[in-house]
Amino acid sequence: MITGTPGVGKTAVSQFLASKLKAIHIDLTKLVKQEKLTSGVDKTRKTLIADMKKVSERVQDIIKSYEQDIIIDGHYSMNVLPAKNVYLAFVLRRDPEELKKTMETREFKNRKLWENLAAEILDVCLWDAVRACGADKMCEINVTSKTIEGVVEEIVAVLEEKRKCRVGIVDWLGKLEKDGRLNEFLKDF
């Protein structure tokens, strides 16, 4: 599993990792859109709401049809499979300042921008994944200022047991507070 806040680089990293490992890459955002696995529209956020039951069933079907390793990419990836079927869950973390720039390039604005930045600052994806899979399967990777190739190398090192999985490697809240920039980032949206 590859999870993390929108814009951290899940899809870019998963694509590269899949080509390196000759694994199958399942991009949940793409799958949901292509196969219309939705249950409605979130009008406030102007996005489609994924139907988790349909997504989960479809992902389990796809997995059964392949022999290869599977990389599931999406910020709710840990909710589409039972924890026992998850080998490892990587949470990509990106410094909020850098992430804000990526989000702005992707035209995230107002509520969508601040809500997603708050999620990164408050470790939302990390805790969702820990709750679903347990801390033992979690690997946090700080992708800040790293190339996609560099991030993939770190993931491969973990898979080859040359590097230990760790959780609790970043503290965006503490960093922003120390820099006196917390109010600037945790806006009332």
Q: How far is the CB of 9 from ligand ATP (least distance, A)?
A: 3
* Torsion sign over Cα 50, 51, 52, 58: negative
| Dihedral angle, C-alpha 172, 177, 183, 186, nearest 10 ° | 20
Q: Compare residues 13 and 132 and give the one whose CB is closer to ligand ATP.
A: 13
Q: Using CB under 6 A, list all residues that contact ligand ATP.
A: 4, 6-12, 29, 75, 102, 143, 146-148, 151
Reference 34, options 56, 15, 12, 50; nearest CA is: 50
**In degrees rounded to 5, what are phi and psi of residue 77?**
-55, -35
- Per partner kind, with CB cut-offs from 5 to 8 A, the member of Mg ion, ligand ATP, none near residue 56 is none
Q: Which of residues 43-62 bind Mg ion (CB under 5 A)?
A: none
| Residue 110 buriedness (CB in 10 A; 0-12 / 13-18 / 19+) | exposed
Within a 13 Å sphere around the CA of 159, how many CA atoms are in the beta-carbon half?
A: 17
Q: Compare residues 7 and 81 and give the one whose CB is closer to ligand ATP.
A: 7
| Residue 11 within binding range of Mg ion, rule CB under 5 A | yes
Q: How far is the CB of 149 from ligand ATP (least distance, A)?
A: 8
Q: How far is the CB of 27 from Mg ion (least distance, A)?
A: 6
Q: How far is the CB of 11 from Mg ion (least distance, A)?
A: 3
CA distance 96 to 116: 10
- Per partner kind, with CB cut-offs from 5 to 8 A, the member of ligand ATP, Mg ion, none near residue 96 is none
| Residue 102 within binding range of Mg ion, rule CB under 5 A | no
Q: Using CB under 5 A, list all residues that contact Mg ion.
A: 10-11
